[in-house]
Structure 1
Amino acid sequence: MSAQALHVQYLQPQSVDGARLVCLHGWGFDHQSLRPLARELQANSALQIELIDLPGFGLSPPPVCAAEGATNVDASLNEWAAATVALLARHIAQDARPVYLLGWSLGGQLALHLARQARVEGVFTLAANVQFCAQPHWPDAMDAAHYHAFVSGFADKPAITLKRFSQLVAAGGSGLGVKALREYASAHNFDNPAQLRAWLQALQALAALDATAAPIDVPVHMAFGELDALVPNRVMAALDCAPFSQQWPARSLTQFEGCGHDLPLAAPGQVAAWVLARLPQNCRTLQPAGASV
């Protein structure tokens, strides 16, 4: 890999002993989408919170090439996903303090993949499936025809398709997701071919990242929105059965009522309380007032 670096927004002063929470946003967004949640966590934890822009999103440049020189790269990943996993693994390894991963949607899928490669203490996923696109071995996902039509639509008319995506993100939620995505999208006209390619490959990575047969030996905590239009409700029942009971011995599943896919935007206080309740005591200060877990 070249000397490319990820843009990282750090919250909380660095300390010698404090744990780190590495946060990964979803497709179509950047690290700003996780700031409401990060502010809640910052006020009530002793964590160093690290908000990362994935390659090609926000202030992180598109990946220069595939994961050149990286080890343990999954050959099933596309160029963007392989480069992104290599960059994230390098970022995690640069600091020896304990690391927890938090990922929303695509970020959650990346976090599950990283948990098999990097040294982490636990994983939190928000509105993330283990396989986004329905496959014969995992039918509890978005219909494959709808997914492939969406990918083709974005390649042909990215702005229009992004608007449609924002509506799906906000469906059933507070409307904050669609507002945030429209504001972000308005600043991107995709005149940069490298950026458009990165977004398209990141969209394709949703189907390439597959955690259905991946043993993970650290705690995995997954949160879902009751009204999510992108991740079907039946996922929770599927994840509560074998083989996950053997592959992920330390796991928990939570559903947030009245929320859609825009979980970290619509309910940051509730999500922060949920995260804090599952962290060791030395990572916590006070519970957010009035938040339920």
Structure 2
Amino acid sequence: MLYSNTQGIGADLVLLHGWGFNSALFSHLVDDYKNQYRITLIDLPGHGRSANVDGGLNEWCNEIIKILPNNPILLGWSLGGLLAINIANKIKISQLILLASTPKFIKDNDWNYGIDANNFEQFSNTLQLDPTQGLKRFISLQTDNKTQLKSLKRSLDTLPASPNALAQGLAILLKSDLRKPLKQLTIPVQVILGERDTLVPIAIIKWYELHNISLTLLNTGHLPFLHPDFELSII
């Protein structure tokens, strides 16, 4: 069973976090926007307070769908963005927001907007040696806000992801290609990227612009929602 928590009033907004983290990552967004939206936080399978789910992309998404409100605004960060794209092709949602995310993370012969598979595996292998410490170092490079850092690091210490879920999540990042499903969507799609993101190359803006996807660029890295200029402008 997956953990979820809902707060606030207004249109339903669901937040999906990324690999290795948990929904506490978004606690400041809840504080900032709970008077405008009814916000549901979900811990991904095997992350935070959620049980493991056997399988990959579709199995994870099917479990998430079971606890979604009707016709929500769906926001996904990083790995959560892949899940959100897939979910948006399975059920009715009102809007899709992708934070530091892409329909395909890995570069290959017909996709120049990803990261090199060897570099990705090197990065993931380093993280898997000590996921909690690796993720702490990672977020330390993304924000100078000491209060945010302390809160995020505490959530990683108290609610670490399971080894099984970490391996499954990396496989989803490595193998998923959701370009076609994303292009097929007829709902509003917004993308927010960081100019200094090392995991989602900034060159992908060409692809998003080519497909008329609304784009916001912030002078930050892979966690744009921690940037002081970050703002949710939901249609």
Please give the TM-score of this superposition, normalised by the length of structure 1. 0.71
Match of 2:173 among 179, 198, 206: 206
Q: Give the conservation status (yes or no) of the 8 Å contact 2:2–2:42.
A: yes
Q: Tell me how far 1:178 sits from its aligned partner.
A: 5.9
Match of 2:234 among 261, 272, 278: 278
Q: Tell me how far 1:55 sits from its aligned partner.
A: 0.7
Match of 1:37 among 26, 29, 49: 29
**Which residue of structure 2 lines up, in the alignment, with residue 254 of structure 1?**
216
For residue 180 of structure 2, give the secondary structure of its aligned residue in structure 1.
coil
1:26 maps onto 2:2 in alignment:
no
Q: Which has the larger radius of gyration?
A: 1
The amino acid across from 1:221 in the alignment is Q
Where does the alignment leave 5 or more consecutive residues of structure 1 unmatched? 66-78, 246-250, 280-293
Q: Give the conservation status (yes or no) of the 8 Å contact 2:24–2:152.
A: no
CA separation of 1:140 and 1:198: change in aligned 2, threshold 3 A:
same
Match of 1:121 among 87, 90, 94: 94
Quick one: distance in 2 between partners of 1:235 and 1:179?
A: 32
Matched-pair identity in %: 26
Where does the alignment leave 5 or more consecutive residues of structure 2 unmatched? none
Quick one: distance in 2 between partners of 1:166 and 1:235?
A: 27
**CA deviation map 1:60-79 (0-9, x unaligned):** 1111x3xxxxxxxxxxxxx1
Q: How many residues align?
A: 232
**CA deviation map 1:121-162 (0-9, x unaligned):** 11011111221121222221121111122334445x2x1x55
Please tell me the root mean square deviation across aligned C-alpha atoms, in Å: 2.3
Match of 1:263 among 206, 219, 224: 224
**Which residue of structure 2 lines up, in the alignment, with residue 9 of structure 1?**
5
CA separation of 1:27 and 1:7: change in aligned 2, threshold 3 A:
same
Match of 2:59 among 83, 97, 105: 83
CA separation of 1:237 and 1:22: change in aligned 2, threshold 3 A:
same
Q: Tell me how far 1:256 sits from its aligned partner.
A: 1.1
**Which residue of structure 2 lines up, in the alignment, with residue 62 of structure 1?**
52
Q: Give the conservation status (yes or no) of the 8 Å contact 1:224–1:256.
A: yes
Q: Tell me how far 1:120 sits from its aligned partner.
A: 0.3
